[in-house]
Amino acid sequence: MHSRKISVFGLGKLGATMAACFASRDMHVVGVDISDKTVESINSGTAPVSEPGLSDLISSNSQRLSATTDVQKAISETDISFIVVPTPSKDDGSFSLKYVSDVSNTIGRALAKKSRYHLIVLTSTVLPGSTQYGVQPILERESGKRCGKDFGICYNPEFIALGSVIQDFLNPDFLLIGESDKRAGNLLEDILKSVAQNDPPTQRMNYINAEMAKIALNSFVTTKITFANMLAEMSGKLPGTDVDTITDAIGLDSRIGRRYLKGGLSYGGPCFPRDNRALGYIADKFNCNSLISESTDQFNQYHLENTLGIIQDHTKVRGSIAVLGLSYKPNSNVLDESPGLYLAEKLSAIGYKVKAFDPVSMENVREILKDPIYCAESIHECLSGVETVVIANPDAKFSSISAVDIHQNQRTVAVIDCWRMLRNELENKDRIVYVGLGIGKQSTQHKSHLAKIWNA
């Protein structure tokens, strides 16, 4: 295992987890953050952010992991620095490089006082051209040194999902490296290969190809999710149709694959929506057609509004609704562009009495959802007294909901199951109107439509 010393700039969900993972593979790691609270948390052996398994990973590797606000100290004591700071989206779909620029300036000034070679690795998601025309000139100007001779730069984005960052980082599908030169790329690949628990293939290229590949990959995944959601809408209207049966079948084709091919609620989170829009932004800037990325984004919002309409169709005016699943995905407390959160706020604004619960994110939810939305303390409390139940994200804890839990209301209850988690338990049960998105009902109207097509 390597004796290289690593610094990680930005100790958010990804940065803190990366730092802990490096330390868990016998590397000495210095985390750098502008927040004294975050630094104190790392130095006390506790996680500064919520991510499954992170607290244990930090505490068990605290001898090799420290944190500081002192950039000069971090640069002088390490050989490789990873930049993992936010790049917030702008209204036009582009990414702000403010934090990347700020940290590049401070790192550059620290490099000016260092005699030996240092590798800087940009991990934050950026637009194509950002490393070559943004980061490299800043580092060279502030350090007075030359990239490729005195220091190296790589662009190395991670393809991780919040809620499984540790597993994804230690077992990547592949390593994507945009390099200033072979020396920089060799050093980074050597480090990453020694950290990975699997044996991932590596794709090495120039900066701009790697930057383009990052947003292209996420944009492609959003297109795949959206295609499955389109099938779910169609399946919900074709009698006898089941979207899971369809996607399970076509996913066996090696050209398609099953991952992310599951009809459900719209995608959300801190990466997918913005990376798709960023690809469209780049296309527009160079007078290329961005119809696919635009259509994906538009359908994603349409699908959410369509689901809202289904909920309204099964709930009387000003009725009571339970929304289960407020984070954008299970096992995460992140609420960025969360479909469940959107539904709760929108239903309340329309005039429904909304109760909300999430197994992981309630602390964050309470900071956002205001009266008259009621934030429940448990699944049981959230279900009590409502006329409609919405399963907005597929958290495993919701799979244990039974007909008895629903029937505590002593009334007929509509269950809008966006992920079909409770189909076996609730479908065809007395006093439950079960609506699984993507499951076609045997309605006379829809049968008539099919008959007309056959007889046309």
Residue 273's alpha-carbon distances to 211, 250, 289, 321, 437, in angstroms, are 17, 25, 18, 27, 22
Pair (193, 293) in one structural domain: no
Pair (180, 148) in one structural domain: yes
Q: Which residues are known to be catalytic?
A: 271
Q: Name the phi and psi angles at 383, rounded to 5.
A: -75, -20
What is the predicted pLDDT for the residue at 446? Answer: 74
User: DSSP of 289-323, one letter per residue?
Assistant: --HHHHHHHHHHHHHHHHHHHHHHHTS-TT-EEEE
Report the candidate in 345, 371, 338, 374 with the shortest Cα–Cα distance to residue 357.
374
Domain of 117, CATH number, reads 3.40.50.720
Pair (189, 96) in one structural domain: yes
DSSP helix/strand/coil, 6:
strand
What is the predicted pLDDT for the residue at 411? Answer: 83
Pair (59, 192) in one structural domain: yes
Residue 52's alpha-carbon distances to 2, 80, 164, 167, 169, in angstroms, are 26, 26, 7, 10, 13
The neighbouring-strand residues paired with 205 are 178
Final residue of a structural domain among 271, 299, 327: 299
Q: Is the pTM of this model over 0.85?
A: yes
What is the predicted pLDDT for the residue at 456? Answer: 66
* Total domains in the fold of the chain: 3
Pair (175, 90) in one structural domain: yes
- CB burial class (10 A; 0-12, 13-18, 19+) of residue 414? buried
Q: Name the phi and psi angles at 117, rounded to 5.
A: -65, 145
Residue ranges, the chain, pLDDT below 50: 1-2
Q: Per the domain annotation, does 307 fall within a domain?
A: no
Query: Running DSSP on this structure, what letter comes out for residue 266?
Result: P
Pair (148, 259) in one structural domain: no
Whole-angstrom Cα distance, residue 410 to residue 431? Answer: 8
- CB burial class (10 A; 0-12, 13-18, 19+) of residue 176? buried
Pair (118, 178) in one structural domain: yes
What is the predicted pLDDT for the residue at 409? Answer: 65
Residue range 344-362, pLDDT digits in tens = 999 999 999 999 999 999 9
What is the predicted pLDDT for the residue at 2? Answer: 46
Residue range 31-55, pLDDT digits in tens = 999 999 999 999 999 999 999 999 9
Pair (198, 210) in one structural domain: no
Pair (286, 404) in one structural domain: no
User: DSSP of 159-227, one letter per residue?
Assistant: ---TT-HHHHHHS-S-EEEEESSHHHHHHHHHHHHHH-SS---EEEE-HHHHHHHHHHHHHHHHHHHHH
Q: Residue 253 belongs to what domain range?
A: 206-299
Residue range 55-75, pLDDT digits in tens = 999 999 999 999 999 999 999
Report whether 14 contacts 158 (CB < 8 A).
yes
Final residue of a structural domain among 299, 328, 347: 299
Residue with tokens 């998105």: 437
What is the predicted pLDDT for the residue at 335? Answer: 95
What is the predicted pLDDT for the residue at 452? Answer: 82
Q: Per the domain annotation, does 446 fall within a domain?
A: no
DSSP helix/strand/coil, 115:
coil
